[in-house]
A = this chain, B = another copy of it.
Amino acid sequence: MALRHAVLVALLDGERSGYELTKTFEVGVSNFWFAAPQQVYAELSKLEAAGLVAGREVVQQGRPNKRIFVVTDAGMQALTAFAATPSKPLAIRDDLVVKIHAADILDPEPLIAQLTERAEEAAAKLVLFEKILAKMRGGLDEASFLARGERVGPYLTTLGGCALQRAFHEWCLRTIQTLGRRAEAERPPP
């Protein structure tokens, strides 16, 4: 099992429709679980069939109706059981880093272009995450919120996302610099 628990956990933040969840999962639930929309809908059906979430129809005007879901008691039990099982190691997969591993035999230009794009994406995510953090902690400063806030779970994972994006962003910039300088050194100005 995999997505199953990520969906349950995302629903702890409140009732959500499939569509709302897909938005969360496209960003990556604070960047630690990505899923395509189709996967989310499929998983919700399975979770409902298994009785771990309950859905109800919400009639809307001017918009298609939607079904919103909550975690049931059985779902909570499933989460408790999940928390007690040993975690699988962090799984990262990144095309771009694979390319960088082969940087010595590849044309640096497309690599630098892709690194630049990634650096921008990371910067954008950082800005987004900081906003989310500010919203969660409300008027409190971070230390007080972490000590006494009501729901620190999502805050902690978002902090993790920030740490990761920041590290990745810095690495992109540094790698761009290194590849750029080496490319210059190879074909000096005539």
Q: Which of B106, B146, B150, B163 has a CB less than 8 Å from the CB of A83? A: B106
Closest residue of chain B to A181, judged by CB? Answer: B147
A37 to chain B, nearest CB (A): 15
Contacts A82-B99, A99-B83; A32 near B93 (Cβ below 8 A): yes
Interface SS of chain A: helix
In the complex, A95 has a CB within 8 A of chain B: yes
Complex contact B96–A90 (CB within 8 A): yes
Protomer copies: 2
A102 within 8 A of B: yes
What's the least CB distance linking A113 to chain B, in Å?
Answer: 10
Please list the residues of chain A having a beta carbon within 8 angstroms of any beta carbon in chain B: 2, 5-6, 8-10, 12, 28-34, 76, 79-80, 82-84, 86-107, 110-111, 114, 118, 121, 146-148, 150-154, 156-157, 159-160, 163-164, 166-168, 170-171, 174-175, 178, 181-182, 185
